[in-house]
C-alpha cells in the first residue's frame, strides 16, 4: 500500500520535472523578441481596451506608439494628458498638450419640448430608426431616443433620462473615447472641451431647418436667428445652415449668448451660479449703449476735427 503511494509520488515528480524542462526549452527556443517598452506602455495605459484611440486595444496602441517612436498621431482619450505624459517619458518624446474633452448631447428635444408625431414600433435601435424615416417627432435632426449611444458606452457614462427621453452624460465617467459619437446616426453627440472646472457653453441643437420649421418641431430648437452671433464679442459663434455653433477654443464663457437666445437652445453647464439673464442682458445693453455713445463721440470728434 505505502509502496503504491511512494511510487505515485516518485513518478509524478519525475514526470513534472521532465515536462517543465521541455516547457523551459520550448519557451527559450520560440521566444519572440519584443520591445520591452511595449509592455511598459501597456501597463501605463488604462487597460480599458475601448478602442477610443483608433486601435484595437491598449496593446495595439502601445505597439503602434513604439513603432512610430512618437505620439503625434496616437492619443489615449481615456487616460488623458497624465497618462500620455508617462507614455511620452517611456518613449522619450514630447507631446502636445490637449484639453480634456467630454461628450455633449446637442439636443433639447425632450418629450415636453418636442411633441411626438407618430409611434415607432421597430427594433430599439437609432440606426434602424434613422435609416427608416425622419423620426417620431417633427425634427429631422435631433435625438431618436433609442439609446445606441448608451449601448456603445463601455464606461457606463451614458444613460437615458426617462423623463426627457434624451441621453445624459455622467461627466465623472466619460472618458471622451468617442464611441457614442460614432454610434449616433444623427451625430447629435459631440466631444467638446470640458472647460475650466467643467464650465462650458454649447448650442444644444443641430436642427438645420429654417427657423419656423425648426420651432414648429421643437420648442427649444435653434432657429438660426443669429442673435448669439451678433452678441458674442469673441467671434466664437457662427451660424451655418440655420444653426449656431460655438467654437469652444474661442469661447470665453461670458454666457451672453445664453442670455440672449430666444428659445433657450444654448446651454451653460458647470457654472457655480445660475444665469441671471436680465443682468446679463442689461450688461449687453449698457455695453451697446456705451459703444453707441463712443461711436457718436468719435463721429462728433471727427466732425470737430474736420470742422
Provide the minimum distance between the beta carbon of 209 and another protein in the complex, in angstroms, as a whole number: 8
CB closer to another protein out of 25 and 133: 133
CB closer to another protein out of 118 and 161: 118
Provide the minimum distance between the beta carbon of 120 and another protein in the complex, in angstroms, as a whole number: 5
Q: At what angle do helices 36-44 and 58-68 cross, to 10 degrees?
A: 130
Q: Could you say whether residue 131 binds another protein (CB under 8 A)?
A: yes
Question: How many Å is the Cα radius of gyration of the chain?
Answer: 29
Please identify which residue in 23, 123, 275, 295 interacts with another protein, judged by CB under 8 A: 123
Please identify which residue in 30, 92, 97, 119 interacts with another protein, judged by CB under 8 A: 119
Q: At what angle do helices 80-91 and 58-68 cross, to 10 degrees?
A: 50
Provide the minimum distance between the beta carbon of 77 and another protein in the complex, in angstroms, as a whole number: 20
CB closer to another protein out of 48 and 93: 48
DSSP 161: E
Provide the minimum distance between the beta carbon of 254 and another protein in the complex, in angstroms, as a whole number: 36
Q: Which three cell numbers stand for residue 257?
A: 449668448
CB closer to another protein out of 77 and 135: 135
Q: How far apart are alpha carbons 160 and 158 in whole angstroms?
A: 7
Q: How far apart are alpha carbons 293 and 298 in whole angstroms?
A: 8
Q: Could you say whether residue 127 binds another protein (CB under 8 A)?
A: yes
Q: Could you say whether residue 125 binds another protein (CB under 8 A)?
A: yes
Q: Which helix (H) or strand (E) holds 44?
A: helix 36-44
Positive or negative CA dihedral for 68, 70, 76, 79?
positive
Number of residues binding to another protein, judged by CB under 8 A: 19
Q: Which three cell numbers stand for residue 230?
A: 451678433
Positive or negative CA dihedral for 11, 15, 18, 24?
negative
Please identify which residue in 85, 93, 95, 120 interacts with another protein, judged by CB under 8 A: 120
Within a 10 A sphere around the Cβ of 173, how many other Cβ atoms?
Answer: 12
CB closer to another protein out of 140 and 269: 140
Tell me the window of 80-88, 129-137, 237-245, 291-299 that interacts with another protein (CB under 8 A).
Answer: 129-137
Within a 10 A sphere around the Cβ of 269, how many other Cβ atoms?
Answer: 15
Tell me the window of 135-143, 155-163, 170-178, 277-285 that interacts with another protein (CB under 8 A).
Answer: 135-143
Residues 190-229 that bind another protein (CB under 8 A): 209
Contact 139, 213 (CB under 8 A): no
Binding mask 226-265 for another protein (x = CB under 8 A): ----------------------------------------
Q: Is residue 222 classed as helix, strand or coil in its secondary structure?
A: coil
Please identify which residue in 59, 116, 277, 281 interacts with another protein, judged by CB under 8 A: 116
Q: Could you say whether residue 148 binds another protein (CB under 8 A)?
A: no
What's the first-to-final CA gap in the chain, in angstroms?
Answer: 128
Q: Is residue 238 classed as helix, strand or coil in its secondary structure?
A: strand
Please identify which residue in 134, 154, 159, 238 interacts with another protein, judged by CB under 8 A: 134
Q: Name the one residue in this structure whose C-alpha cell is 420649421.
A: 213
Residues lying near another protein in the complex (CB under 8 A):
116-123, 125, 127-128, 131-136, 140, 209
Amino acid at each position: 500500500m505505502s509502496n503504491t503511494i511512494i511510487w505515485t509520488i516518485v513518478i509524478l515528480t519525475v514526470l513534472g520535472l521532465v515536462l517543465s524542462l521541455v516547457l523551459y526549452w520550448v519557451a527559450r527556443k520560440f521566444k519572440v523578441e519584443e520591445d520591452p517598452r511595449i509592455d511598459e506602455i501597456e501597463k501605463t495605459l488604462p487597460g480599458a481596451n475601448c478602442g477610443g484611440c483608433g486601435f484595437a486595444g491598449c496593446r495595439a496602441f502601445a505597439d503602434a506608439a513604439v513603432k512610430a517612436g512618437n505620439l503625434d498621431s496616437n492619443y489615449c482619450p481615456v487616460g488623458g494628458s497624465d497618462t500620455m505624459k508617462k507614455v511620452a517619458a517611456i518613449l522619450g518624446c514630447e507631446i502636445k498638450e490637449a484639453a480634456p474633452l467630454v461628450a455633449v448631447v446637442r439636443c433639447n428635444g425632450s418629450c415636453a419640448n418636442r411633441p411626438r408625431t407618430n409611434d415607432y414600433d421597430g427594433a430599439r435601435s437609432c440606426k434602424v430608426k434613422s435609416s427608416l424615416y425622419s423620426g417620431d417627432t417633427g425634427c429631422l435632426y435631433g435625438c431618436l431616443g433609442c439609446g445606441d449611444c448608451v449601448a456603445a458606452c463601455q464606461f457606463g457614462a451614458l444613460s437615458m433620462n426617462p423623463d426627457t427621453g434624451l441621453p445624459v452624460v455622467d461627466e465623472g465617467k466619460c472618458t471622451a473615447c468617442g464611441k457614442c459619437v460614432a454610434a449616433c446616426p444623427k451625430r447629435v453627440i459631440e466631444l467638446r472641451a470640458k472647460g475650466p472646472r467643467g464650465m462650458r457653453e454649447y448650442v444644444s441643437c443641430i436642427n438645420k431647418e429654417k427657423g419656423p420649421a425648426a420651432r414648429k418641431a421643437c420648442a427649444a430648437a435653434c432657429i438660426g436667428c443669429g442673435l448669439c452671433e451678433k452678441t458674442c464679442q469673441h467671434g466664437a459663434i457662427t451660424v451655418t445652415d440655420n444653426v449656431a455653433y460655438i467654437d469652444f477654443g474661442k469661447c470665453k464663457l461670458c454666457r451672453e449668448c445664453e442670455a440672449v437666445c430666444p428659445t433657450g437652445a444654448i446651454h451653460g453647464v458647470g457654472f457655480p451660479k445660475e444665469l441671471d439673464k436680465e443682468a446679463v442682458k442689461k450688461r449687453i445693453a449698457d455695453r451697446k449703449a456705451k459703444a453707441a455713445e463712443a461711436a457718436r463721440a468719435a463721429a462728433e470728434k471727427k466732425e470737430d476735427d474736420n470742422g
